[in-house]
């Protein structure tokens, strides 16, 4: 099930001092999941060459798709593109297409092309620059031995624009389509621990099914659970039917076990 | 500078499908930074034994403080405590103090102690359960060979309550106090790339100083930068004075270089 394993790498000290919440990783994780990938890691590393090289090497050895965010800008601590080259063991080159993209943005406003700005056009030989409709640093797409590595800027608006415009189509075209379906049940009045055996039984219905409960109220005093049901399949209708069947079975088992004690309602899945 | 290296481990499929944003990691990163630790990694892993064991082993080999969130509840996919034991190479035991905590919560409401609930009291021999004022699963504190490992639940309210009540005092007591100071400047009208050499010069003032710019507006059309300045020191006044001096020097250099083009203002640091 699924197109393969994805890792998300987030580069930036601001994430490690807690100044910024990593919304980029959640956004990318949702996108990759809906594209049929199984995201197995999000790793946040500081703006340090050694750390970035290390995590790229680890990811390259274990993931089919690697997406990084952060560290592509013009300041001295933006070094993700250079560290990625080091992880590959190649010397960075100035990509002429990328240089043209960067140059155009600055020249249109009368700014010169300084060495800091030229750095944004450096990437491994054979990489493809991705236009940045919302900023100046191009994204970087690097395909090698069946793997896809994408380096994106850390500014959410720029990261999202490049992903949707130039990365999503590439990932969508790889392998058979995979569809993802989900639903959420809200259950009041029964503690999570008592629902656990029911969830286990529903999950046994199909290996493509995943059911997880999230406690929202205090577990004993006012038990309130969100139960998230999701499935992926190569056929949209099969994914949806699986989730539908699991929701039906879940309700049936909850009512059989808890009767009127369990108050069950359905919500729209969060996205 | 600082008390040592910290790693944050986040366990939970919901983070890897993008259903939940990892606010826990940002909250803990801020706390640990202000306590004087250098957070070098946040790693998000799925609710799978192999992944959790692997990331604990990696963290134990490289960090002085390891904090995990998630996977301590009563459902079958809550396995962080058991996977941690496996990472240590020890058999989990039922901690009697933890069992009493769990039992009391359920018995007060007339619920029985099922095997799923008893699982929440299992931990490595020698570990210390941490009371959970906001839920049922106790946290786990494990100290070994100078390292501190803390396992916390994933529900933010519970995680925060246990950390503030029982983890912060332990970490505060270890090693000399470390103080963290920060300020933020907002600069309009100058592209990030032109500010880069100025930042580099200010950072050379002191190794305990870190200055980073975050582009907010479109880099060329309406350049808007937030410049974050922070420092840590074993003396609060030294940390504050360093940041103060850096802010002064930064303003002076920006005005010398850009004159009226740069519009500079100060904000309150975000926390």
Examine the pLDDT at A271 and tell me if it is beyond 70: no
Q: Please answer whether residues B77 and B71 qualify as being in contact, where contact means their C-beta atoms are separated by less than 8 angstroms.
A: yes
Q: Which of B30, B76, B212 sits opposite A13 (nearest CB)?
A: B212
Cβ distance A14 to B194 less than 8 Å, yes or no, reads no
Confidence of residue A270 (pLDDT cuts 50, 70, 90): very low
CA distance B143 to chain A (A): 23
Cβ distance B105 to A195 less than 8 Å, yes or no, reads no
CA B132 to centroid of chain Cα atoms: 19
What is the distance in angstroms between the CA of the first residue and the CA of the last residue of chain A? 21
Cβ distance B41 to A39 less than 8 Å, yes or no, reads no
Counting every residue, how long is chain B?
271
Which has more pLDDT, A69 or B213? A69
**Lowest-confidence range among A131-140, A195-204, B106-115, B117-126?**
B106-115
Examine the pLDDT at A1 and tell me if it is beyond 50: no
One DSSP character per residue, A184-202 reads EEEEESS-HHHHHHHHHHH
Q: Do domains A4-172 and A179-267 have the same CATH topology?
A: no
- Nearest residue of B to residue A156, measured between CA atoms: B216
Which has more pLDDT, A166 or A107? A166
Cβ distance A28 to B41 less than 8 Å, yes or no, reads no
Q: Which of B22, B28, B230 sits opposite A22 (nearest CB)?
A: B22
Q: Three-state SS for A18?
A: coil
The alpha-carbon radius of gyration of chain B (Å, integer) is 22
Which helix (H) or strand (E) is A76 found in, with range?
Answer: none
Burial zone of B98 (CB within 10 Å; 0-12 exposed, 13-18 middle, 19+ buried): buried
Nearest-angstrom CA–CA distance, A171 and A130 = 14
Cβ distance A74 to B193 less than 8 Å, yes or no, reads yes
Cβ distance A199 to B76 less than 8 Å, yes or no, reads yes
From 3.40.50.2000, 3.40.50.300, 3.30.70.360, 2.102.10.10, which CATH number describes the B179-267 domain?
A: 3.30.70.360
DSSP bridge pairs for B229: B183, B211
Confidence of residue A129 (pLDDT cuts 50, 70, 90): very high
Q: What is the pLDDT of residues A83-94, one digit of tens each?
A: 999 999 999 999
Residue A223 sits at the vertex; the CA angle it makes with A221 and A224, to the nearest 5 degrees, is 145
Name the superfamily (CATH) of residues B4-172. MoaB/Mog-like domain (3.40.980.10)
Nearest-angstrom CA–CA distance, A228 and A270 = 10
DSSP category for residue A222: S
User: Taking the model in full, what pTM does it have?
Assistant: 0.89
Q: Which of B13, B17, B31 sits opposite A30 (nearest CB)?
A: B17
Q: Which residues on B lie below 8 Å from A67 (Cβ)?
A: none
Spell out, as residue ranges, where chain B has pLDDT lower than 50. 1, 269-271
Average pLDDT over residues A48-71: 97
Q: Which of B16, B136, B194 sits opposite A40 (nearest CB)?
A: B16
Strands B139-144 and B147-152: antiparallel
Q: According to the model, what pLDDT value does residue A227 have?
A: 93
CA distance B265 to chain A (A): 19
Which helix (H) or strand (E) is A105 found in, with range?
Answer: helix A96-107
Average pLDDT over residues A135-157: 95
Q: What is the pLDDT of residues A76-125, one digit of tens each?
A: 889 999 999 999 999 999 999 999 999 998 888 888 888 888 999 999 99
Q: According to the model, what pLDDT value does residue A220 have?
A: 63
Q: Which of B15, B17, B136 sits opposite A219 (nearest CB)?
A: B136
**Lowest-confidence range among A4-8, A174-178, A234-238?**
A174-178
- Please report, for residues A66, A97, B82, B145, B179, the alpha-carbon distance to residue A184 in angstroms, rounded to integers and kept in the order given: 29, 46, 28, 44, 44
One DSSP character per residue, chain B reads --SEEEEEEEE-HHHHTTSS--HHHHHHHHHHHHTTEEEEEEEEE-S-HHHHHHHHHHHHHH-SEEEEES--SSSTT--HHHHHHHHHT---EE-HHHHHHHHHHHHTTT----HHHHGGGEE-TT-EEE--TTSSSPEEEEEETTEEEEEE-SSHHHHHHHIIIIIHHHHHTSSS--EEEEEEEEEESS-HHHHHHHHHHHHTT-TTEEEEEEE-S-TTTS-EEEEEEEEEESSHHHHHHHHHHHHHHHHHHHHHHHGGG-EEEEE----
**In chain A, where the domains are located:** 4-172, 179-267
Q: According to the model, what pLDDT value does residue A267 have?
A: 73
Phi, psi of A229, rounded to the nearest 5 degrees? -120, 125
Cβ distance A42 to B42 less than 8 Å, yes or no, reads yes
Beta strands in A53-131 (DSSP E): 65-69, 93-94, 122-123, 128-130
Which has more pLDDT, B150 or A223? B150
């Amino acid at each position: 099930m699924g197109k393969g394993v994805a890792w998300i790498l987030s580069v930036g000290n601001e994430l490690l001092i807690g100044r910024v919440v990593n919304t980029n990783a959640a956004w990318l994780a949702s996108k990759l999941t809906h594209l049929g990938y199984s995201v197995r890691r999000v790793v946040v590393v500081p703006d340090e060459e050694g750390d970035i090289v290390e995590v790229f090497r680890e990811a390259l050895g274990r993931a089919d798709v690697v997406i990084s965010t952060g560290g592509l800008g013009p300041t001295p601590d933006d070094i993700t593109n250079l560290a990625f080259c080091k992880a590959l063991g190649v010397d960075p080159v100035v990509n002429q297409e990328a240089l043209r993209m960067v140059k155009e943005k600055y020249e249109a406003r009368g700014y010169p092309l300084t060495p800091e700005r030229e750095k944004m056009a450096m990437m491994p030989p054979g990489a493809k620059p991705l236009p940045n409709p919302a900023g100046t640093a191009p994204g970087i797409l690097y395909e090698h031995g069946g793997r896809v590595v994408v380096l994106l800027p850390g500014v959410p608006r720029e990261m999202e624009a490049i992903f949707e415009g130039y990365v999503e189509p590439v990932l969508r075209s790889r392998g058979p389509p995979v569809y993802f379906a989900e639903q959420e049940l809200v259950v009041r009045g029964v503690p999570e621990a008592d629902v656990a055996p029911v969830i286990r039984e529903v999950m046994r219905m199909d290996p493509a099914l995943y059911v997880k409960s999230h406690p929202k109220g205090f577990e004993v005093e006012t038990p309130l659970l969100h139960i998230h049901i999701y499935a992926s399949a190569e056929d949209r209708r099969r994914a949806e039917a699986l989730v539908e069947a699991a929701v039906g079975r879940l309700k049936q088992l909850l009512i059989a076990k808890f009767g009127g004690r369990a108050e069950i309602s359905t919500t729209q899945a969060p996205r």
